[in-house]
């Protein structure tokens, strides 16, 4: 990064002040102000440094060390036009004052969005390396070590960055770049965005003044509205937390917590379930996934078969490396594996993100030689070898001479977000949006979701495997019987369900192209097995008559509706037929329920109207009124998905 090298430069140039003061005693006050300004820079007081250095230059406009340091003070405050004014003023007055200043001027031009001018100064600096160092006097000698480091480690990368930016038409992979603005972005650092599939819910990390990181959430009612922002209330503490990612089902969340256990060290990755805006069932990933150092920034593939994350654990290639685990048949994660030298470098790699088809990996790096401090790169997966290709810089306008990280794509793969501290933002790191080129979006994927239920009662079948026939992956229903599948469009999706209490389920669904704002819905209803009748035994006494067995089912309703749909009417008819007809019905109890939406009075009234609607249908089918009992039970207290709470429980007792 540029700041340490510039501070070293300030320290190097602090020494000549005494020498200049001896040679130009009549300018002593200018030199004293210069010394004060340099000390303020070294102490981190940039505004005080600017004030002192302005005073120095005001006392003597030809005092070039003063102008050089004033330019540096502006540079460190990201005031690039003001810095350029001072740098260029020095070089115009004395082209041999400092050879390194040509490189500094090029960097400042690059950060100011002027890559062609930057390239000219980088090239000039490279050409001047042929000059004898003595040509640049005492300043040249004092800058020699900094200059050698720049030539060895930075110059080639900066020239490449300027070339890429100057000829950006050959690199542009994104258009329509915009800053999300307030209240999402603030004067603090805002980064690592993650959006829900419909883009109306936003999660991201904010770093406070003292380095504490918190998870922030945003809601909006319509796409044209801005997000309303609040701290995510489940676990924000005085320690860093955030860097979250949601599975595409919108329920499972991975996030980072730091220093929760003082003996554990570093940061660790956790998993939880997001229910009604709160994280529940929080579990720390196993110790072999987390390490004793820093583990963070998890990314999960759309099919939930791969987990990527960043870690500083021993044995890596650089500082922070990228690792991945694969999901095992028993539901556990494999041992983490390093992604290797094509991705990782001796510097830091972080913030992985996978495309929907899991064939493009996006990440941030400081070690691949990019446009600025930290750039975003992508790599393609070779399915035949299982290896990731060499990293490629995603180019401008996403990358810039500043810092970029935290890449995220929306559910349709067309819109993207990232964070950058480029000039013109609200403060530190800001979140930006853009439209991604089709050549980087990967293959299309359709989100498919639905519920696995009992065909008669509507009860969810939980924790049940739902394999895609032919090796297309194995999925599992959640606590509400919901499953979620990432499927290729314009192809058949063959599903198989085997359950000991139900008949085997085999069906193939045609999957369309979908925008994924909400999943393409398919529901699977399983029929219970019917035990075969035992063969009649000859000349045996008739068995005692068994007591009648109650028949139960659920009738389900849309949000705030009390209308019995034709599908639910068909299920009621089937129930009556299984009892043996209307004449076999001894009694019917109808218990109406709602979900939590609405006031208590409204929900009680709605639950009664739903029970009465089912009663009206049974009366129309010939069930006697004196056999029907209607009960309004209000909100269902059981832990179910809201759609399953909007119901009437039907209990029929045969005669």
Q: Which of 576, 184, 155, 529 is nearest to 369 (CA)?
A: 155
Superfamily of domain covering 446-526: Carboxypeptidase-like, regulatory domain (2.60.40.1120)
- Rounded Cα distance between 214 and 190, Å, is 10
Residue 214 or 543, more confident: 214
Average pLDDT over residues 352-362: 93
- Rounded Cα distance between 615 and 631, Å, is 11
Say whether domain 2-166 belongs to CATH 1.10.940.10.
Answer: no
What's the confidence (pLDDT) of residue 417?
A: 95
Run of H or E including 42: helix 28-43
CA 28 to chain centre: 56
* Structure tokens belonging to residue 324: 């991945």
Work out the pLDDT band at 67, boundaries 50, 70, 90: very high
Candidate from 383-387, 628-632, 650-654 with smallest mean pLDDT? 383-387
State the Cα angle at 282 between 276 and 285, rounded to 5°. Answer: 140
Work out the pLDDT band at 535, boundaries 50, 70, 90: low
pLDDT, averaged across the chain:
85
* Structure tokens belonging to residue 130: 């042929």
Residue 547 or 187, more confident: 187
- Rounded Cα distance between 410 and 412, Å, is 6
Q: Could you tell me what percent of the chain has a pLDDT over 70?
A: 89
pLDDT digits (tens, 9 = 90+) for 90-99: 999 999 999 9
pLDDT over 50 at 22, yes or no: no
- Rounded Cα distance between 354 and 344, Å, is 16
> Domain ranges in the chain?
2-166, 170-440, 446-526, 551-654
Work out the pLDDT band at 24, boundaries 50, 70, 90: low
Work out the pLDDT band at 542, boundaries 50, 70, 90: low
Average pLDDT over residues 596-602: 83
* Structure tokens belonging to residue 91: 């070089």
> Who's near 640: CB < 8 A, 6+ residues apart?
460, 480
What's the confidence (pLDDT) of residue 240?
A: 57
Candidate from 24-33, 109-118, 613-622, 630-639 with smallest mean pLDDT? 24-33
What's the confidence (pLDDT) of residue 9?
A: 60
Average pLDDT over residues 170-187: 84
DSSP string covering 137-205, please? HHHHHHTHHHHHHHHHHTHHHHHHHHHHHHTGGGT--EEEEEE--TTTS-SSEEEEEEE-TTS-EEEEE
Q: Nearest 10 degrees: CA dihedral of 91, 93, 95, 99?
A: -50
What's the confidence (pLDDT) of residue 588?
A: 92
Superfamily of domain covering 170-440: TolB, C-terminal domain (2.120.10.30)
Residue 155 or 209, more confident: 155
Average pLDDT over residues 2-17: 54
Average pLDDT over residues 154-179: 76
What's the confidence (pLDDT) of residue 10?
A: 56
Average pLDDT over residues 5-26: 52
What's the confidence (pLDDT) of residue 236?
A: 47
- Rounded Cα distance between 80 and 105, Å, is 10
- How many residues are present in the chain? 655
- Rounded Cα distance between 295 and 192, Å, is 15
Average pLDDT over residues 590-599: 89
**622-627: Cβ within 8 A, 24+ apart:** 622/582, 623/576, 623/582, 623/585, 623/588, 627/585, 627/586, 627/587, 627/588
Work out the pLDDT band at 339, boundaries 50, 70, 90: very high
> Who's near 203: CB < 8 A, 6+ residues apart?
193, 194, 195, 215, 216, 217, 218, 232, 244, 246
**Do 610 and 512 touch, CB atoms closer than 8 A?**
no
DSSP string covering 442-489, please? -S--EEEEEEEEETTT--B--S-EEEBTTTS-EEE--TTSEEEEEE-S
- Rounded Cα distance between 615 and 586, Å, is 15
Most confident of 167-171, 268-272, 639-643: 268-272
| Whether the model pTM is above 0.85 | no
Work out the pLDDT band at 539, boundaries 50, 70, 90: low
Work out the pLDDT band at 239, boundaries 50, 70, 90: low
Q: What SS3 state is found at 642?
A: helix
Average pLDDT over residues 555-576: 87
What's the confidence (pLDDT) of residue 275?
A: 76
**Do 522 and 514 touch, CB atoms closer than 8 A?**
no
pLDDT digits (tens, 9 = 90+) for 105-139: 999 998 888 888 988 999 999 999 999 988 998 88
- Rounded Cα distance between 360 and 523, Å, is 31
Within 13 Å of residue 374, how many CA atoms lie on the same side as its CB? 18
What's the confidence (pLDDT) of residue 330?
A: 81
Average pLDDT over residues 209-213: 78
Residue 472: burial class (beta carbons within 10 Å; 0-12, 13-18, 19+) = middle
φ and ψ at 82, to 5 degrees?
Answer: -65, -40
Work out the pLDDT band at 261, boundaries 50, 70, 90: low
* Structure tokens belonging to residue 179: 């800053």
Q: 551-654 maps to which CATH number?
A: 3.30.1330.60
Residue 431: burial class (beta carbons within 10 Å; 0-12, 13-18, 19+) = buried
Average pLDDT over residues 264-287: 83
What's the confidence (pLDDT) of residue 21?
A: 43
What's the confidence (pLDDT) of residue 316?
A: 92
What's the confidence (pLDDT) of residue 265?
A: 59
What's the confidence (pLDDT) of residue 446?
A: 94
Average pLDDT over residues 421-449: 87
pLDDT digits (tens, 9 = 90+) for 454-476: 888 888 999 999 989 876 788 88
What's the confidence (pLDDT) of residue 18?
A: 47
What's the confidence (pLDDT) of residue 20?
A: 47
The residue to which tokens 């109207």 are assigned: 609
pLDDT over 50 at 193, yes or no: yes
Average pLDDT over residues 524-547: 64
């Amino acid at each position: 990064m540029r700041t340490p090298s510039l501070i070293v430069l300030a320290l190097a140039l602090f020494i000549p002040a005494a020498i200049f003061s001896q040679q130009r005693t009549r300018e002593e006050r200018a030199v004293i102000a210069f010394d004060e300004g340099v000390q303020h820079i070294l102490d981190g007081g940039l505004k005080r440094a600017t004030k002192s250095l302005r005073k120095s230059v005001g006392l003597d406009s030809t005092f070039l060390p003063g102008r050089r340091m004033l330019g540096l003070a502006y540079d460190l405050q990201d005031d690039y036009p003001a810095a350029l004014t001072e740098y260029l003023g020095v070089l115009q007055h004395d082209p041999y004052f400092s050879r390194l200043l040509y490189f500094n001027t090029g960097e400042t031009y690059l950060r100011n969005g002027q890559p062609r001018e930057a390239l000219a100064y980088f090239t000039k600096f490279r050409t001047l390396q042929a000059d004898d160092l003595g040509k640049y006097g005492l300043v040249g000698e004092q800058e020699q070590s900094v200059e050698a480091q720049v030539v060895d480690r930075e110059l080639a990368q900066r020239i490449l960055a300027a070339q890429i930016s100057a000829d950006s038409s050959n690199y542009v992979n994104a258009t329509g770049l915009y800053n999300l603005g307030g209240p999402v972005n603030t004067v603090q650092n805002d980064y690592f965005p993650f959006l829900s599939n419909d883009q109306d819910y936003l999660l991201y990390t904010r770093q406070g003044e003292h380095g504490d990181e918190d998870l922030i959430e945003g809601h909006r009612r319509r796409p044209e509205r801005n997000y309303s922002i609040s701290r995510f209330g489940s676990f924000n503490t005085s320690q860093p937390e955030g860097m979250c990612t949601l599975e595409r089902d919108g329920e499972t969340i991975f996030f980072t917590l730091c220093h929760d256990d003082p003996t554990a060290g570093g940061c660790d990755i956790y998993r939880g379930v997001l229910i009604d805006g709160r994280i529940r069932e929080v579990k720390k990933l196993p110790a072999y996934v987390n390490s004793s150092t820093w583990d963070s920034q998890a990314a999960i593939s759309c099919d939930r078969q791969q987990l990527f994350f960043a870690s500083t654990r021993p044995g890596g290639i650089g500082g922070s490396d990228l690792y991945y685990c694969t999901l095992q048949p028993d539901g556990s994660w494999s041992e983490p594996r390093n992604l290797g030298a094509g991705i990782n470098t001796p510097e830091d790699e972080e913030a992985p993100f996978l495309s929907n088809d899991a064939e493009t990996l996006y990440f941030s790096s400081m070690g691949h030689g990019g446009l600025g401090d930290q750039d975003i790169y992508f790599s393609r997966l070779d399915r035949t070898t299982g290896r990731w290709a060499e990293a490629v810089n995603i180019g401008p306008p996403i990358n810039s001479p500043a810092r970029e990280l935290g890449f995220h794509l929306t559910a349709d793969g067309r819109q993207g977000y990232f964070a950058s501290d480029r000039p013109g933002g609200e403060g530190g790191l800001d979140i930006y949006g853009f439209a991604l080129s089709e050549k980087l979006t990967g293959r299309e994927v359709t989100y498919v979701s639905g519920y696995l239920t009992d065909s008669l009662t509507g009860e969810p079948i939980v924790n049940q495997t739902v394999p895609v026939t032919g090796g297309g992956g194995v999925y599992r229903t959640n606590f509400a019987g919901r499953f979620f599948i990432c499927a290729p469009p314009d192809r058949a999706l063959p599903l198989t369900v085997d359950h000991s209490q139900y008949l085997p389920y085999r069906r193939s669904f045609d999957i369309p192209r979908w925008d994924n704002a909400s999943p393409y819905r398919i529901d699977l209803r399983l029929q219970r097995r019917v035990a075969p009748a035992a063969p009649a035994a000859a000349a045996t006494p008739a068995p005692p008559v068994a007591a009648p067995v109650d028949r139960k089912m659920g009738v389900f309703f849309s949000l705030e509706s009390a209308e019995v749909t034709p599908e639910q009417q068909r299920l009621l008819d089937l129930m009556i037929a299984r009892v043996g007809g209307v004449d076999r019905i001894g009694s019917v109890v109808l218990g109406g329920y709602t979900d939590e939406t609405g006031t208590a009075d409204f929900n009680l009234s709605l639950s009664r109207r739903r029970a009465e609607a089912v009663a009206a249908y049974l009366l129309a089918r010939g069930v006697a009124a004196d056999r029907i009992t209607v009960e309004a039970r209000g909100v269902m207290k059981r832990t179910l998905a809201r759609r399953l709470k909007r119901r009437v429980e039907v209990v029929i007792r045969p005669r």
